[in-house]
Structure 1
Amino acid sequence: MGEALLAISNLNKSFETAAGRVRALQGVNLRVEEGEFITVIGPSGCGKSTLLRIVAGLDTEFSGTVKLGGEAIRGPGIDKGFIFQEHRLFPWLTAEKNIASDLSLRDPQVRRRVDELIALVKLEGFERSYPRELSGGMAQRVAIARALLRSPRILLLDEPFGALDAFTRAHMQAVLLDIWQTRRTTMVFVTHDIDEAVFLGSRVVILEPRPGRIRRVIPIDLPYPRKKAGTSFQELRLRVLSEFEKVEELELTDGAGI
């Protein structure tokens, strides 16, 4: 077996709290191949966001190994893009300047890249709009374009559509899939929504708490675009839901849902 783009081996992470030491992640092992779209689900407190932060290089206090492209991750870098639930755009900058971030649009190469990304996320005509003039979905598209500007090897998304209404969320799922199929950027997408996980992912990783560990990895062998009302989709959804319900039962039994 060759080297995976992202290789996580025996990852353990603990936090010190007023109540004592809390194990956030324990014995996590995961391989993500180049070009895969992985979705991660699990109840609150199972370590989903912590896992993303470690892969992003935002948290380096852990044991085990986390490698990207065969190199140990030792901190943040342009090879990793991160998208939060909130768009976190600069309110004083236009959409195109938010995408360019600290780079100058006077640079012809930057100008070309920004224009390409605006077309990719379907924001033509809103280049000079400020965040307050954009809908929630449009603002997230700007955030996605900004994360893609430096062509990261992996894009990490922490419930990016969680604050959107159902219609906008469905539209953004389609936009993100279009971006993935166009660029084949490897994506790891955290969500609480089982339908979203099955609709987007080539594999669904189910985490259980505490400590956070992988309960099951379920391949989603369905062609894109997927129909949520289709029989095959519903069968896989029920399989994921069944595992998720087992996790919830464990949480109640262990009293971990506090």
Structure 2
Amino acid sequence: MSIPLLNISKLNKTFQTNKGPVHALHQIDLNIKEGELITVIGPSGCGKSTLLKIIAGLDLQYDGEVALDGEPISRPGIDKGFIFQEPRLFPWLTVEKNIAADLSLKNPEVRRKVDELIELVRLTGFEKSYPRELSGGMAQRVAIARALLRKPKVLLLDEPFGALDAFTRAHMQEVLLDIWQKNRTTMIFVTHDIDEAVFLANRIVILKPRPGSIRSVVTVDLPFPRKKSSISFQEIRFKVMNEFEQIEELELIDSSGI
């Protein structure tokens, strides 16, 4: 049996607030293999973003174990790329310079890799463009390319397409899959969109709220490219939807005190 790239064991996270402690994550156990594309989905407040921040090393105040490639995560680093909902580009830098960031394009190896990534994320011809000249989807592709240049062991994406219109979002899903299939970078992708989760994932981690915990993990054993209108796709979509309906029923029961 191969050792997982990411191991999360008995993870618990509690926030201290003025109204008292809030138990955000409870007993999260999850192993992710190298090269997997995992989507994480669940109702608002179930701890999806909190989980990503802990994996990224941005939040170290938790109980349990979180290890990447056998090493406990103790700080942020280039081995853990993070893509936010907003692209967060430097407005005074061009596309190619945003991707290179603190690395010099005068270095032939950096130049070669930047050029390869520009082609991979389908931005050829926009190398000299500034962020203000890009669409939202194009800007996110720059952010993804910048993260990939550092060759992260895992790429964490926190609802990166949430602010995009439906057409651009569908296009970005195709682009991301193309990047993943060519690069095989391990990815953990948070989303609220069930169709997006099924379209992208090898496995879907479904979280339930109060406290955030894993309700189920659904394997998506469908070949790529996937058609959202296919019967097999809709069967898995229905399975995930059914899990959501059961979560909502439990929420109603809890709130009514039954």
TM-score tier, shorter chain, comes to over 0.9
Aligned to 1:96: 96
Matches within 5 A, 1:162-177: 162-177=162-177
Question: Aligned letter for 2:43?
Answer: P
- Deviation per residue, 1:169-219 (Å, 9 max, x gap): 000000000000001000000000000000000000000011100000000
Q: In the alignment, does 2:73 pair up with 1:70? A: no
The gaps in structure 1 that reach 5 residues or longer are none
Cα RMSD over matched residues? Answer: 1.0
CA distance in 1, matches of 2:171, 2:163: 13
Aligned to 1:244: 244
- Deviation per residue, 1:92-117 (Å, 9 max, x gap): 11111110111111111111111110
CA distance in 1, matches of 2:255, 2:5: 37
The gaps in structure 2 that reach 5 residues or longer are none
SS at match of 1:217: strand
SS at match of 1:87: coil
| Structure 2 CA distance for partners of 1:130 and 1:255, relative to 1, 3 Å | farther
Q: In the alignment, does 2:27 pair up with 1:27? A: yes
Question: Aligned letter for 2:131?
Answer: P
Question: Aligned letter for 2:249?
Answer: E
The sequence identity of aligned pairs, in percent, is 72
Q: In the alignment, does 2:145 pair up with 1:148? A: no
Deviates more, 1:80-89 or 1:247-256: 247-256
SS at match of 2:117: helix
Q: In the alignment, does 2:202 pair up with 1:178? A: no
Aligned to 2:192: 192
CA distance in 2, matches of 1:159, 1:195: 13
Deviation at 1:255, TM superposition (A): 3.7
SS at match of 1:77: coil
- Deviation per residue, 1:110-151 (Å, 9 max, x gap): 111111100100100001111110001000000100110111
Aligned to 1:120: 120
CA distance in 2, matches of 1:113, 1:249: 50
SS at match of 1:211: coil
Equivalenced residues, count: 256
SS at match of 1:144: helix
TM-score w.r.t. the length of structure 2 is 0.97
SS at match of 1:243: helix
Q: In the alignment, does 2:222 pair up with 1:225? A: no
Question: Aligned letter for 1:46?
Answer: C
SS at match of 2:10: strand
SS at match of 1:3: coil
CA distance in 1, matches of 2:28, 2:44: 17
Question: Aligned letter for 2:52?
Answer: L
Aligned to 1:108: 108
Deviation at 1:19, TM superposition (A): 1.1
SS at match of 2:152: coil
Question: Aligned letter for 1:224?
Answer: F
SS at match of 2:91: coil
CA distance in 1, matches of 2:115, 2:253: 53
- Deviation per residue, 1:217-241 (Å, 9 max, x gap): 0000100000000000001000000
- Deviation per residue, 1:46-73 (Å, 9 max, x gap): 0000000000000000000001001100
SS at match of 1:151: coil
SS at match of 2:162: coil
SS at match of 2:111: helix
Question: Aligned letter for 2:60?
Answer: T
Aligned to 2:207: 207
Deviation at 1:253, TM superposition (A): 3.1
